[in-house]
Amino acid sequence: MNFSTVNLRTDRHWRSATGLDQNRFQKLLHLLPAAYEQLYGQSMEQRHKDCPDEPTLSSYEDLLLFTLFSLKSGLSFDLLGLTTGMDGSTAKRNQDIGLALVKQALSQSGHLPKTHFDNAESFKAYFKDKGPVLIDATEQRTQRPTDTDYQKGMYSGKKKPILSSR
């Protein structure tokens, strides 16, 4: 891979490429081998021995850097592949592997946030001791109503300034 942590020399580089500083990257990196074995039943090195082709991402560090960079940059898979020296379909496959691995590592270490609740009571119970919960729902999509009068009530248009009488 043309892209490596060797190129990340400052804290600013680390944060702009991965979203993490070097210390947090290393902490997450140490969780990956156990998570990889849990997911695939063998280490990355053992799995690569069975692969007929040379793997593009040959270490946990390369895979983590690639995964975090792909999330941080928001590039298309073709452009991500071009940037990191692989084709688009390989970039997609590697991102999927990396995301599953990071999710597994965070889950095993107890750092994965809960994202699904069966009902409102379980949601309230989970956040009871967590402090206030803020939910930004101001820009939620809604289907355009077919009834003209109701549609007019739902449409705000541009807010016009209130003219004060002089």
Residues in the chain, how many? Answer: 166
Instruction: Please state the domain extents for the chain.
Output: 10-109
* Nearest Cα residue to 20 out of 97, 106, 147: 106
How far, in Å, are 114, 120, 149, 159 from residue 140 at the CA level?
22, 20, 21, 18
pLDDT by position in tens, the chain (length 166): 567 888 899 999 999 999 999 999 999 999 999 999 999 999 899 888 887 888 888 899 999 999 999 999 999 999 999 988 899 999 999 999 999 999 999 999 999 888 889 999 998 888 888 888 887 777 667 777 888 888 777 776 655 555 655 5
Report pLDDT for 35. 95
The pTM is what? 0.73
Rounded to an integer, what distance in angstroms lies between the CA atom of residue 19 and that of residue 14?
A: 7
